[in-house]
Amino acid sequence: GQQLNQSPQSMFIQEGEDVSMNCTSSSIFNTWLWYKQDPGEGPVLLIALYKAGELTSNGRLTAQFGITRKDSFLNISASIPSDVGIYFCAGQRPGGQNFVFGPGTRLSVLP
């Protein structure tokens, strides 16, 4: 079953608005990744976080590794139509080799 929770499940926003989504778990993770998936494509890595408290930006995207190591958030500023897609968080547990993925947040941007 799912070990990561993402919220919101889906969101509709106006073009130009900022977006915030998060990912939580009951377990500690050593690494957090954020991916975006477009229809018919595989997920594409947006941001990787490796240390608790780390705040990392990639253009209009900013993500943070929560201090408790049990959560992470992703912000998108000044959204544009091409931001539409599904955003997945993924976490790697201490000593783990694979990543556990959340169920995703589906983002729709209205013109």
Partner 1 sequence: GAGVSQSPSNKVTEKGKDVELRCDPISGHTALYWYRQRLGQGLEFLIYFQGNSAPDKSGLPSDRFSAERTGESVSTLTIQRTQQEDSAVYLCASTRGGGGYGYTFGSGTRLTVV
71-76 and 61-65 as β-strands: parallel, antiparallel, unpaired?
A: antiparallel
102 near partner 1 (CB under 8 A): yes
Which residue in the set 44, 55, 80, 110 belongs to the binding site for partner 1 (CB under 8 A)? Answer: 44
* Contact flags string 61-100 toward partner 1, x per CB under 8 A: ---------------------------x-x-x----xxxx
User: What distance in Å separates the CA atoms of residue 10 and residue 65, rounded to the nearest whole number?
Assistant: 22
Closer to partner 1 by Cβ: residue 62 or 103: 103
Burial class (CB in 10 A: 0-12, 13-18, 19+), 56: middle
Please choose, out of 12-20, 57-65, 71-79, 102-110, the segment that lies near partner 1 by the rule CB under 8 A: 102-110
User: What distance in Å separates the CA atoms of residue 92 and residue 59, rounded to the nearest whole number?
Assistant: 24
For residue 25, the cross-strand partners are 4
Which residue in the set 26, 40, 59, 82 belongs to the binding site for partner 1 (CB under 8 A)? Answer: 40
Answer yes or no: are the C-beta atoms of 66 and 50 closer than 8 Å. no
Residues that bind partner 1 (CB under 8 A): 2, 4, 30-31, 33, 35, 40-45, 48, 50, 88, 90, 92, 97-104
